Amino acid sequence: MSLQSMTGFARHLRNSAGAQISWEIKSVNGKGLDVRFRLPTGFEAIEQKARTLFGQRFKRGNFQAALTVDRSAGSAKALINEPLLKELARIAAQLREDFALAPSTPEGLMALRGVLEAPQDVLTPEDQAEVEDAVLTVLDETLAQLERNRETEGKALGEILSVQIDAVELLTQQARRDPSRTLDAVRSRLAAQVTLLLDASPALDEARLHMEAAFLATKADIQEELDRLDMHVAAARTLLRDGNGVGRKLDFLTQEFNREANTLCSKANAASITSIGLDLKAVVDQLREQIQNLE
């Protein structure tokens, strides 16, 4: 499956079931799936089925969906309200007889309100059901278009994320190769720190001295943090390959990246490692910002 951005737009119009049907849909970032509809009067009954169509294609995002139905643009013809026309003709004839008025013309009678009924005013339940089915069909076509648009943006977003994940890997490799991590460099720093402990005033007792020395030795080792960073990089790349619906998992991974970067900075005994840790935090922040757009 393809990565999808949560931002997108689609508009689709089609003549069907004697009406011109148009859907316009916008989507933006969201923690869950939230759909807001703007429907013409008389189409409230389709909302639940419409929500189901959204759920079949999307997992996350805030959607605004607007429906327009213009039956006057369809192929159906206007109908004559014969009972009303007959009653108006009777009244016109009576007025002509009573007041010596000019005869009424067919055009004049047809122009009176209610004589001609537009298709939307005379839909049978069967006609309404046919239009509703067409509305849902056009909605599904619009959602397919929106899905394609979101996948196009998702592909571009995936390329950006890949570059940032590569940057995390590169910084991890730099930390592994840093001269401050050579055995001689670590021994030298530990020796200097232990000397400070031995010279402490008041003097530390033996148990406290051992505890402090063990703490310094543990802090000097960032191997575990670097190994976990490599694991997170591999996991992130797997998620990007898996595609759609991985935004939440990638967001969790950025938290793990950030935790390791913070630990790296706190354990660093060399300016070079601190610098790498700060660069790593900056890349992770950029990574997290981009992932917020991913479904």
Confidence of residue 118 (pLDDT cuts 50, 70, 90): low
3-state SS of 92-151? HHHHHHHHCCCCCCHHHHHCCCCCEECHHHCCCHHHHHHHHHHHHHHHHHHHHHHHHHHH
- For the entire predicted model, the pTM comes to 0.70
Please name the helix (run of DSSP H) or strand (run of DSSP E) that holds residue 264, with its range, or none: helix 247-267
pLDDT tens, 76-97? 556 777 888 788 788 888 877 7
Token reading at 16: 């069907």
Instruction: For residues 179-200, give the mean pLDDT.
Output: 59
Q: Do residues 190 and 218 make contact, with C-beta atoms less than 8 angstroms apart?
A: no
Phi, psi of 285 (to 5 degrees): -60, -45
User: Over 90: is that where the pLDDT of 180 sits?
Assistant: no
User: Over 60: is that where the pLDDT of 185 sits?
Assistant: no
Mean pLDDT in the chain? 84
Q: Which of the listed ranges 196-200, 201-205, 220-224 does the model predict with the highest average pLDDT?
A: 220-224
Confidence of residue 243 (pLDDT cuts 50, 70, 90): confident
Token reading at 32: 């869950």
Q: CA separation (Å) from 105 to 20, 92, 98, 112, 179?
A: 34, 10, 17, 11, 103
Confidence of residue 255 (pLDDT cuts 50, 70, 90): very high
User: Over 60: is that where the pLDDT of 265 sits?
Assistant: yes
